[in-house]
Amino acid sequence: MQKHFIEIDGARMSYVDQGQGFPVLLGHSYLWSAAMWQPQIEALSQHFRVIVPELWGHGDSDAPPASTTDMAALARQHLALLDALDIPQCHLVGLSVGGMWGAQLAIDHPERVDRLVLMDTYLGAEPEATRLKYFGLLDAASAAGAFPDPLLDIVVPIFFHAGGQTVPPVREQFRADLKASSAQTIRESLGPMGRVIFGRPDLLARLGELKGDKTIVVCGDQDIPRPPEESNEMARIIGCLAAQIPFAGHISSLENPQVVNEFLLNWLPHKT
């Protein structure tokens, strides 16, 4: 997977740019990287130009610049990427935090996004109980300067089908990658980005500004952090379709890539 780099707000953002055709921007999940979209990059790049930016402090992107204070800043930074690549309009597929900044971008700049796919994400504020839980996990990792095994035992299962039977190699690699995180990355990137994500404001009241016929909300049927009830709530507000990916948790793109690929190839128009 070849990476490209661009400077935004004084920091270096890494991104994948593969294929030709109408652009599709893929936003990945917190604690992951562009590799989370590998099956989709391979399938979509046969028909589209696929661009996958890496969140600050994730993959090969630098730690977040000081300007990264909230979700609106992330949306603005990704708009700057589109501007730098001279992309006037794209389809946007955002999973988890990718959907959070993606929806903000589509609301603030509707002319820049044709189709919007919100996957395994939630645009309301983080419920207080889970926000406090996640902040506690971030504090524990920052204090330790690492993800010790007891913490990984809590964090890793959050991202996958509750049954625990799907994609064992992906789970093991994810755990190994987290375990390899440096103290600097945890304290300067993962901690601050987690606070932006889980401390986000409630955007539900603005979801009605999205185009119902050009938006769809999708989630894994076994998504633990972003359960189907949240997707259904957002779909009602937007007035759009909601769909579930079977046998998948939060990282549905890797747990059931065939269904996700077929859905995206069918739903995203091959514009010129």
In the numeric block, the tokens 């939060």 are attached to: 250
- DSSP-assigned letter for residue 160: S
Domains of the chain with CATH codes: 4-267 (3.40.50.1820)
Q: Which of 225, 272, 237 is nearest to 119 (CA)?
A: 225
For residues 26 and 41, give the distance between their C-alpha atoms in angstroms, rounded to a whole number: 9
Instruction: Give residue-wise pLDDT tens across range 162-187.
Output: 877 789 999 999 999 999 999 999 99
Instruction: Give residue-wise pLDDT tens across range 151-162.
Output: 999 999 999 998
Joined tokens for residue 70: 């909230």
Counting as low any pLDDT under 70, the low residues of the chain are 272
Q: Do residues 33 and 57 lie in contact, with contact meaning Cβ atoms separated by under 8 Å?
A: no
Alpha helices in the chain (DSSP H): 38-44, 71-84, 97-108, 128-144, 149-158, 168-179, 183-185, 191-198, 228-238, 252-255, 257-267
Alpha-carbon dihedral sign for residues 242, 245, 249, 253:
negative
Q: Which of 46, 35, 34, 4 is nearest to 264 (CA)?
A: 46
pTM confidence score: 0.97
